[in-house]
């Protein structure tokens, strides 16, 4: 397979059609849409406790109120970590597809930047809702999830597909 120059790679991406761009960026848009939905009053902890407790008790049996508060908090924070972790992967995939001349580290930086922007905007928006609050700690947790899942992808790629990490210049 011949190695293309960065200019040739950019020309190839520019010629891609709507199907390519939807394939690359639709997962990012869907992820942001889910965050927008979850950033409403409806998904405040006062509204999620009942359904999540029902699910938890269906799977693991009854739990005392004090213990449930801790479990509910942990479930919500895990949701932050993994939800934004997957959004970070969607950003990573989109940049990886869109910028074929770039290297993995550049794409991960752009993906983390996109994730941090969405997380910050989400937390800022929540400060205006009566049953929600914005937290810098949640933004850090969100970005940690993105970093962790991107690191997992990097390790997988390094071990299983190292040639995919070597992009032509």
pLDDT in tens, the chain (169 residues): 455 554 555 556 556 788 989 999 999 999 999 999 988 888 888 888 999 999 999 999 999 999 999 999 999 999 999 999 999 999 999 999 998 778 889 999 999 999 999 999 999 999 898 888 889 999 999 999 999 999 999 999 899 988 877 765 5
> What's the CA gap between 28 and 115, in Å, rounded?
10
Distances (CA, A) of 61 to 52, 55, 68, 72, 165: 13, 9, 12, 15, 46
Q: For the whole model, what pTM was predicted?
A: 0.82
pLDDT at position 91 is 97
pLDDT at position 30 is 97
pLDDT at position 166 is 73
pLDDT at position 14 is 59
pLDDT at position 163 is 80
pLDDT at position 32 is 96
The tens digit of pLDDT for each residue in 21-42 reads 999 999 999 999 999 998 888 8
């Amino acid at each position: 397979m011949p190695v293309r120059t960065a200019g040739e790679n950019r020309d190839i991406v520019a010629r891609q059609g709507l199907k390519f761009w939807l394939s690359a960026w639709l997962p990012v848009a869907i992820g942001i849409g889910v965050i927008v939905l979850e950033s409403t009053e409806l998904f405040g902890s006062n509204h999620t406790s009942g359904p999540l407790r029902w699910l938890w008790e269906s799977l693991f049996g009854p739990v005392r109120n004090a213990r449930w508060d801790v479990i509910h908090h942990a479930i919500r924070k895990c949701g932050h970590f993994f939800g934004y972790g997957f959004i970070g992967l969607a950003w990573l995939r989109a940049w990886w597809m869109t910028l074929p001349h770039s290297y993995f580290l550049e794409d991960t930086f752009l993906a983390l930047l996109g994730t941090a922007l969405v997380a910050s905007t989400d937390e800022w928006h929540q400060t205006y809702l009566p049953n929600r609050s914005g937290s810098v700690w949640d933004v850090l947790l969100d970005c940690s999830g993105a970093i962790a899942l991107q690191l997992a992808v990097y390790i997988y790629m390094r071990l299983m597909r190292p040639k995919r990490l070597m992009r032509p210049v």
